[in-house]
Structure 1
Amino acid sequence: MGKQGHIGSSLLTIEINFPYATSQMKRSLSTIVFLLLLAYTLPGQSIIRTPMGEILNDLTYFNSLYPRLEGAKGENAAFFYIESVLDDNRIDYTRNPLTHLHNAHSFSSSLLVEIPGEKPDTLNILVPVDQSRSSTPGADGSINLALGLALTREFYNRELPIGLRIIFLGAEFSGEKEVQLGSENFLSDFFPEEPQAFLYLDLKGIPDEILIQAGGEGIVAPYWLVGRTIASLEGSGLAYHFENNENQIHRLGMWHSPTRINPYLQAGYPGITLQGEAAPEAKNTIRWITSFFSFFFFFMEENSGGFSQVWDRHYLYFDVLGAPFSIGEGEYITFLLGVIILPLGYPFFRTRRFQRYLRTIRRNIWAIPVLLSLIFLFLLIGTYALKGLLIVRDFPTIWQYTPFTAFLIKSGVAMVLFFLLFGLLRRLPFSHSSSFYTSSALLFFMFSIMILTSLDISMTAPLLWAFGFSFLFSIVPSRLIKTLMLVLSTVPVLLVFHNVFAEQATRVIEYLLLSPLWGNLFLSLLILPYLLMLIRLDFLFRHPSMSTQKRILINAGIITLSISFISFLYILGYDPYSGSSPQPVRVTEKISAESMLRVTSVSSPAPIRSLLLFEEDGSQDLVFNTRKAVFESSYDTPLLTTSINLERFLDRDRFRISFSSEKQPDSLEITFHGTDDFLIYDIQYPYTLSDDGTRARVYIGRNPPVPLELDTIFLAGTVRTMRVRAVFSGPFEDRRVMGSDYSVHHTREYSEDINLFELTPP
């Protein structure tokens, strides 16, 4: 949800902790002046020097280049357009090919514009030029290019408080895994002495709200950068969203996919991604672009004193009644120590009671592993019940579409087992001392906090809250207040679970739902202290007769079983796909030039109801009610033509190889196989040798130009064969895929083994 208003708490904390606070008054005054200028801008006027018409023309042109794939015509045209605009405005720039890649190659490039500032600190704006293959027209990131170009024109030749570097990156969505080759190439040759910060633009279109992504694989952006970004968005009036739980998942390294800013955070640079999906309804483009520039002016002003060298990773951010609230590392450590130390003083005031607690814990400590094992066993059975449902449904990933329903099934099965076996469990010789359960819960929370503190102190917040209320639970005498304390102690944990499921954090959800050992052990450890407090609370209420208790347990079991059964039926009949969200289907044809055999594999996450593959000769294959199908047929049309010219001089063989095709290949993979003394003297593309030195894989970028020329020199007689694999994307005229409500990704892989050893020079 969009945040409006000022983040006073965050800025106050920054003033206390960071060195740039000494200039805060000066920058606050200039910000007030800037706000007044914004307020008194007349209708029709703009705070931007660059004509809005030029920005809109840029956006329209970049949209027309769809698709802008790595190394292909659309991306090349985008770079040519950017260069022409910069030339027209007499803006200096540097265009660099991607030549510093590890085990990779690309025909793409990057373009840099550097604008010096009064201070050496430099803000780097990262703008991807290509797009994801999954992007759709109008939501392909064209707005990033338009904004990047507009910022370049706006700030070039301006006096800036800090330096500004705008980097247009090609090959940021390379291959199916969308590897960031542009970022890899840039960082491999980037060793600045001055402080740097990065802002990555990853907007699919003009969004309803901007998502602040401030983390990567096991790392998060510094507190000061998050605070300044939020303050600048607040000032601009742009709706934004920053989720603290998402940051926590980044700290754990369990986010479902690599983030765009991750390479820069891993390299030790502070950075943030501004992310956003294209709004379903058309936005006022001029107003939104003007607000974005307001954000950028604010952001430059926030950083006019330079970048802090403090990297506070253990901060927390909350949304309290719609208002942003944040806690820095120092404040949180103070709060943590206070909550822990205050209960530790309890033994000095209640010495006898404390000693009694210790004695009862020593006598009954065996009950803790027994209870923990029972919880674990019930959850384990629930896990395998859920896995069985996924097998019956023949849809292994359906839990990703209905994670909460899947959790209801797992937890419901565990609770049904608890209610069924409660009569047997109560026969075990558990302690009848109520103080045992309270003190055990407190100790359990304390040990958990200490363990998490050693891993990441910011992870302790929900348990710290629970510990505080469990302590209050232990000292208040009233049953009603004890019940209230128990309920309040669960609030942050329940909120974390809600946000994890709401944010579709699939790696964490999979861990909770389907991990038999560690996921269930984590849940068991989390449930145990609350169960102990619940048992303690049970001592305060008068129990009904045994027959009444049995009826209550049976009814509770029936209700829980009914909920689980309804959830079970819901998942059995649930279909997450529709016309607006079609079912993904992958059709892969593997064609061998030697055997002229085509093996077609059809696969999908869910059973395919009905899909037809029509051949040019009228034959057809039917895929019906299955997730996977394989067909074989003959294929005698070569998709790639290879011509080879061999020149031999002394002890060297020079092969000039040309590859041509009527259809543009997505990728071209070449592997040379040789003898034990196999040796490559020269080749114009990067390559790697196998461990035994008899095989060389040549890396050729995506969307290679055809015809493609390969010039390589080997030690004479050491190369045996060349294996060529070309991948093409559909649609294909000689084979059509037909079916309703399907999104078909159709590819052909053409492979050929060519004997080079028997070739003779002309």
Structure 2
Amino acid sequence: MRKTIIIILHIALLLSFPLFGDDSYQYGKQVQNLMKEIEPFFPREENSENEKLLFLYLEDQFIQNQIDYEVLDYGLSETYHSFSKGYKVSVSGQLEDTLMLIVPLNNRSNQNSMRSGSINIATALQLLKIFSRYTPSLSIEFLFLGAERGTGSSYPIGSNLVIEDFVSDKNAAVYLDMTAPGDRIIIRKSSGNDRTPRWLVESLSQYFLDKDLSFSNESIETLAYQSGLEKPPAVIEVYHSAEIPMVLLQSIPGLQNKADDQWINEFIESLLSLILDYSNGLPDEWDRHYLITPLGRNLITIGEKQSIISFVTLTALLMLILLFKSRNLHLNLKRFKNHFWSLPLLFFLAFLYLFLSTLLIEEISGMRDYPDFWMRYPLFFLLFKIFLSFFLYSGFLYLVKGVALSPSHHFYTYTAFLSLIISLITVMVFNISFSYFFLWGLVFISFFMISRRKALKRLFLILTPLPIIAVGYLIVTYPYYEISRFLLTSRVTGNIFFTVLIMPVLMLQSSLNHYLHRFHRHRRSFRNAYSLITTGAVTVFLLYRILILPTFDEVQKQPLYLNEVINPGKSIRTLGLSSPAPIGDLTLLLDGKDLKLNDVGREAEITAPMINDLLDVSREKSTFLDRVSSKYTIDAKGTPDRIIIELISETPLIIYDSNYPSKASADGKKIEFHIGVNPRLPLDLSFIISRFAAPQMNIQVYYSDFPYQFDITDRDFALYKNLVVNSLIPWE
């Protein structure tokens, strides 16, 4: 019976797509119409008027299509608070297995009206209309969530609150956070220590591949998050911590040979395929270690078991090849054993060269008076560090002039092979997914060992580091700044890791040098000199390019951070200026007056005339028995981003009731009220405490846009402003 229903559902959904004529992408056209209706609500900031208009629009859509919905009021939560809200629409299927389709309602801060993410809301509404007419096998929960964007620890608030009450034995989630139709889809799946199960990522990848939709699995990004140096999207961590398989679908501008309506139509078909293909239920397995790569029209997937089997098989096969191909294997191993003592020395030399490269990078940054100058051009600095290390190693080979640690080229080849095996095993212990790139290096080193032709040895010497070089290139060009910082500026730990990466290549270079010496002994000095001159020339060129590169330009303007603190109670007003590079001369327009500053370094602090009318606080109180009911009305000039209110006491406090959720410190002497961002003023705060308590109230009002006249008249900076009005109010 179930199979019959599934077949009928498939046919019904297919028939709902007209096959010919201008209406062949009717769902795409309908989504485009919905997007046009949603776009006037841009910008959709949390607790803004446009957000409230969007709420009314969604409710109108639900009512028009006779869809039952539930309002998620964030103001009722006891743990988080926001003036925003969300909506939940549940579509009951034949199974309890639930697919969550999640849409953030607020746009990102850096988006424009043409790329505002309205496609996510419109796509979810269109899918909701489809399943309001057809009953799927899977249960589907549509979540339209506000308060998903933010920098505080409570964000994403909507998802955090949903997870608190969500109950389902088997579930999965797809989070739509794209910017515009026709983009390249990015499938994000890693929360650092955890990863979305393979079946969900593989299924979506296959659907996108079948529809010829441009997409990326961001395998390098996943490895960056799993390294612990880069922070993954917080929203993935929320669902993974609740053991809910989840993919985050985002997008970047890309080239698509499709009209927008066709792209949208095929994207919706992909999501429908996900729902229909798992009509027998969602899988239980959670394979966390895998790599998925599209190859033409096919999808290549390497799972955890396949990786281990591949490693063992490849290692055994290579060992057999070496046994059969090398006539003097026993003799070569004996030579390797006799010179094994020199391995620590070679490792130390490689580490020393990288360490010196790091010191030179620090010196260059010091010359620019910009400690993080490398962040502007990480690729140039990475190439400079690599070539400088090879230049120093080539100098070592030139200076020893044949009096090498070992005269046998086999010693260096086996050293390269052994070091890569050790690196591979170490990587597999921590995370098997990283082993993929080292396996290719192992293959090329093995071919280097068994090759007899000089041209082939040169070829495999070049190919051995290519997979790792490709990863490094993607890391520094994305850019992943924390990983780049680790590789470029970490004197000890980073350089030890870097040494492990380049040791096989340095050893292969030495092996090739000694191998060629067997045929052209008289040209050995020439080869060493040629290698030294070549790497030296590239190093000097890179150094020259780095030294003439501009610190900032019109595209990448110099950042200037303005942090102002105003304390009316103490009549203090300070304005702090900071930048990663020297600020120089500038003129501030402050309170309608010019303030000239000369030769400012990376930091400066000035005292400005006091402003006393930014914050106004009034209080009403009443006493009943042993309790005091207080109501504070807080008003401020301008439009504050957030208000933090704390009660501070010398003795532990107990809040009996309040109109905002609160959290007490461990000793109970400080209580913070949770108040959502962009609060409407005046703000009323009511609470009840013991009449024997006499806490002080600390109010901090934060602005990203100053509520008074401010400008920089003679310089063009990338400004980041922050104002805090801090007032400590005694208990009276």
Q: TM-score, normalised by structure 1?
A: 0.87
1:3 corresponds to? none
> SS of the counterpart of 1:634?
coil
Relative distance call for 1:690 and 1:319 in structure 2 (3 A) is: same
2:545 corresponds to? 567
CA distance in 1, matches of 2:599, 2:14: 63
Residues 300-349 of structure 1: per-residue CA shift (max 9 Å, x gap): 23333332212222222335468643333343333222101223446876
CA distance in 1, matches of 2:46, 2:228: 28
- 68, 76, 99: which one aligns with 2:52: 76
For 1:141-156, what aligned pairs fall within 5 Å after superposition?
141-156=117-132
CA distance in 2, matches of 1:310, 1:70: 37
Aligned: 1:183 with 2:170:
no
Instruction: Tell me the amino acid that sits aligned with residue 42 of structure 1.
Output: G
CA distance in 2, matches of 1:228, 1:102: 38
Instruction: Tell me the amino acid that sits aligned with residue 566 of structure 1.
Output: Y
Residue 60 of structure 1, CA deviation: 3.1
Residues 723-762 of structure 1: per-residue CA shift (max 9 Å, x gap): 1111123154433344665443333211111110xx2xxx
2:233 corresponds to? 258
The answer (yes or no) to whether the contact 1:658–1:708 under 8 Å persists in 2 is: yes
CA distance in 2, matches of 1:52, 1:321: 29
Residue 110 of structure 1, CA deviation: 2.0
1:273 corresponds to? 248
Residue 350 of structure 1, CA deviation: 8.5
Residue 128 of structure 1, CA deviation: 0.5
Instruction: Tell me the amino acid that sits aligned with residue 341 of structure 1.
Output: A
Relative distance call for 1:604 and 1:204 in structure 2 (3 A) is: farther
Q: Mind listing any 5+ residue stretches in structure 1 that lack a counterpart?
A: 1-22
The answer (yes or no) to whether the contact 1:139–1:278 under 8 Å persists in 2 is: no
CA distance in 1, matches of 2:580, 2:177: 28
CA distance in 1, matches of 2:362, 2:413: 36
Residue 167 of structure 1, CA deviation: 0.4
Relative distance call for 1:397 and 1:119 in structure 2 (3 A) is: farther
Instruction: Tell me the amino acid that sits aligned with residue 21 of structure 2.
Output: L
Residue 462 of structure 1, CA deviation: 1.9
- 694, 714, 721: which one aligns with 2:669: 694
- Structure 1 stretch 399-408 or stretch 251-260: which is displaced more? 251-260
> SS of the counterpart of 1:636?
coil
> SS of the counterpart of 2:570?
coil
The answer (yes or no) to whether the contact 2:182–2:256 under 8 Å persists in 1 is: no
Residue 285 of structure 1, CA deviation: 4.1
> SS of the counterpart of 1:631?
strand
> SS of the counterpart of 1:431?
coil
> SS of the counterpart of 1:125?
strand
CA distance in 1, matches of 2:482, 2:533: 35
Relative distance call for 1:91 and 1:535 in structure 2 (3 A) is: same
Relative distance call for 1:537 and 1:290 in structure 2 (3 A) is: same
Residue 521 of structure 1, CA deviation: 0.8
CA distance in 2, matches of 1:703, 1:78: 17
Relative distance call for 1:307 and 1:669 in structure 2 (3 A) is: same
The answer (yes or no) to whether the contact 2:322–2:450 under 8 Å persists in 1 is: no
- 639, 643, 647: which one aligns with 1:664: 639
CA distance in 2, matches of 1:394, 1:146: 50
Residue 104 of structure 1, CA deviation: 4.0
The answer (yes or no) to whether the contact 1:675–1:718 under 8 Å persists in 2 is: no
The answer (yes or no) to whether the contact 1:412–1:563 under 8 Å persists in 2 is: no
Relative distance call for 1:469 and 1:45 in structure 2 (3 A) is: closer
Residue 45 of structure 1, CA deviation: 4.8
1:312 corresponds to? 287
2:103 corresponds to? 127
The answer (yes or no) to whether the contact 1:206–1:283 under 8 Å persists in 2 is: no
> SS of the counterpart of 1:76?
helix
CA distance in 1, matches of 2:8, 2:470: 39
The answer (yes or no) to whether the contact 1:406–1:567 under 8 Å persists in 2 is: no
Aligned: 1:246 with 2:224:
no
Relative distance call for 1:414 and 1:346 in structure 2 (3 A) is: closer
CA distance in 2, matches of 1:64, 1:585: 33
CA distance in 2, matches of 1:348, 1:549: 31
For 1:323-402, what aligned pairs fall within 5 Å after superposition?
324-345=299-320, 353-402=328-377
The answer (yes or no) to whether the contact 1:62–1:78 under 8 Å persists in 2 is: yes
- 664, 678, 686: which one aligns with 1:703: 678
Relative distance call for 1:411 and 1:491 in structure 2 (3 A) is: closer
2:114 corresponds to? 138
Residue 452 of structure 1, CA deviation: 1.9
CA distance in 1, matches of 2:186, 2:37: 26
Relative distance call for 1:577 and 1:212 in structure 2 (3 A) is: farther
Residue 107 of structure 1, CA deviation: 2.1
Instruction: Tell me the amino acid that sits aligned with residue 279 of structure 2.
Output: S
1:484 corresponds to? 459
CA distance in 2, matches of 1:404, 1:347: 37
> SS of the counterpart of 2:221?
helix
> SS of the counterpart of 1:724?
strand
Residue 426 of structure 1, CA deviation: 5.5
- Structure 1 stretch 407-416 or stretch 109-118: which is displaced more? 407-416
CA distance in 2, matches of 1:61, 1:583: 39
The answer (yes or no) to whether the contact 1:672–1:720 under 8 Å persists in 2 is: yes
The answer (yes or no) to whether the contact 1:730–1:745 under 8 Å persists in 2 is: no
- Structure 1 stretch 326-335 or stretch 308-317: which is displaced more? 326-335
- 117, 127, 133: which one aligns with 2:93: 117
Relative distance call for 1:37 and 1:570 in structure 2 (3 A) is: farther
1:603 corresponds to? 578
> SS of the counterpart of 1:166?
strand
Residue 520 of structure 1, CA deviation: 1.0
- 536, 542, 556: which one aligns with 2:534: 556
Aligned: 1:164 with 2:140:
yes
> SS of the counterpart of 2:115?
coil
Instruction: Tell me the amino acid that sits aligned with residue 552 of structure 2.
Output: D
Aligned: 1:42 with 2:21:
yes
1:10 corresponds to? none
1:525 corresponds to? 500
- Structure 1 stretch 610-619 or stretch 105-114: which is displaced more? 610-619
Instruction: Tell me the amino acid that sits aligned with residue 59 of structure 1.
Output: M
Q: TM-score, normalised by structure 2?
A: 0.90
CA distance in 2, matches of 1:102, 1:420: 67
Residues 699-741 of structure 1: per-residue CA shift (max 9 Å, x gap): 2111122222211222223223111111123154433344665
Instruction: Tell me the amino acid that sits aligned with residue 552 of structure 1.
Output: Y
Residue 29 of structure 1, CA deviation: 12
Instruction: Tell me the amino acid that sits aligned with residue 350 of structure 2.
Output: I
- Structure 1 stretch 253-262 or stretch 196-205: which is displaced more? 253-262
Residue 214 of structure 1, CA deviation: 2.2
Residue 668 of structure 1, CA deviation: 0.8
Residues 97-149 of structure 1: per-residue CA shift (max 9 Å, x gap): 23687864222222111112233322211100123333333333222222222
The answer (yes or no) to whether the contact 1:590–1:748 under 8 Å persists in 2 is: yes
CA distance in 1, matches of 2:311, 2:412: 24
CA distance in 1, matches of 2:8, 2:311: 36
RMSD of Structure 2 on Structure 1 (CA): 3.4
Residue 59 of structure 1, CA deviation: 2.1
Residues 241-276 of structure 1: per-residue CA shift (max 9 Å, x gap): 233322332333444542543321232222111111
CA distance in 2, matches of 1:76, 1:280: 35
The answer (yes or no) to whether the contact 1:420–1:557 under 8 Å persists in 2 is: no
Q: Mind listing any 5+ residue stretches in structure 2 that lack a counterpart?
A: none
Relative distance call for 1:190 and 1:160 in structure 2 (3 A) is: same
Instruction: Tell me the amino acid that sits aligned with residue 747 of structure 1.
Output: N
Between the aligned residues of both structures, percent identity stands at: 25
For 1:500-649, what aligned pairs fall within 5 Å after superposition?
500-541=475-516, 542-544=520-522, 548=526, 551-552=529-530, 555-556=533-534, 558-571=536-549, 573-578=550-555, 583-608=558-583, 611-622=586-597, 626-649=601-624
Residues 424-444 of structure 1: per-residue CA shift (max 9 Å, x gap): 556876122332222222222
Aligned length: 728
The answer (yes or no) to whether the contact 1:70–1:174 under 8 Å persists in 2 is: no
Residue 369 of structure 1, CA deviation: 0.9
CA distance in 2, matches of 1:689, 1:584: 37
The answer (yes or no) to whether the contact 1:372–1:528 under 8 Å persists in 2 is: yes
